């Protein structure tokens, strides 16, 4: 199943949801007002849109996610690599590493992740 698209403002909403779920929609309205400066109507509109797209569910005023933070991040990275780098992961990594300091710890962690991934295939 393909992960539904989550736009930037919706992602900021989801960050709040993921941190507090399951959560009553009225409390979510309050948190979005405090963190994002949203009006009640804006929060309910986003809840409705994300519910319709299968990102979250709202049952009996309790809101929970159907898409995890990790799934949303992975879908966003896949889209970025496809759109900006023609699907070429090495080109993405080269561009990422070009202007960024990679610590030895990060390097070792990435190496371990790739070894684990290699063993899965």
Angle at which helix 40-52 crosses helix 8-20, to 10 degrees, equals 90
For residue 1, the model assigns a pLDDT of 67
Residue 93 tokens read as: 């990594």
Predicted structure pTM score? 0.82
Interatomic CA distance for residues 47 and 55, integer angstroms: 9
Is residue 67 within 8 Å of 4, Cβ to Cβ? yes
- Domain spans of the chain, in order of start: 8-69, 88-121
- Please state whether 77 falls in left (phi above 0), alpha (psi between -120 and 50) or beta: alpha
- Scanning the structure block, which residue is given the tokens 């030895």? 104
| pLDDT tens for the 121 residues of the chain, in order | 689 999 999 999 999 999 999 999 999 999 999 999 999 999 999 999 999 999 999 999 999 999 999 999 999 999 999 999 999 989 998 898 888 888 899 889 988 988 887 776 5
For residue 121, the model assigns a pLDDT of 55
CATH class of the domain at 8-69 = mainly alpha
């Amino acid at each position: 199943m393909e992960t539904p698209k989550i736009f930037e403002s919706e992602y900021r909403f989801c960050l709040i949801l993921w941190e507090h779920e399951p959560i009553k929609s009225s409390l979510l309205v309050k948190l979005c007002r405090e963190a994002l400066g949203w009006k009640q109507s804006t929060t309910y509109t986003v809840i409705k849109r994300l519910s319709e797209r299968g990102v979250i569910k709202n049952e009996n005023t309790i809101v929970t996610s159907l898409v995890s933070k990790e799934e949303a991040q992975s879908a966003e990275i896949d889209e970025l690599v496809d759109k900006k780098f023609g699907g070429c992961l090495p080109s993405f990594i080269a561009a990422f590493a070009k202007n960024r300091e990679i610590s030895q710890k990060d390097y070792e962690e990435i190496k371990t992740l790739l070894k684990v991934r290699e063993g899965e295939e």
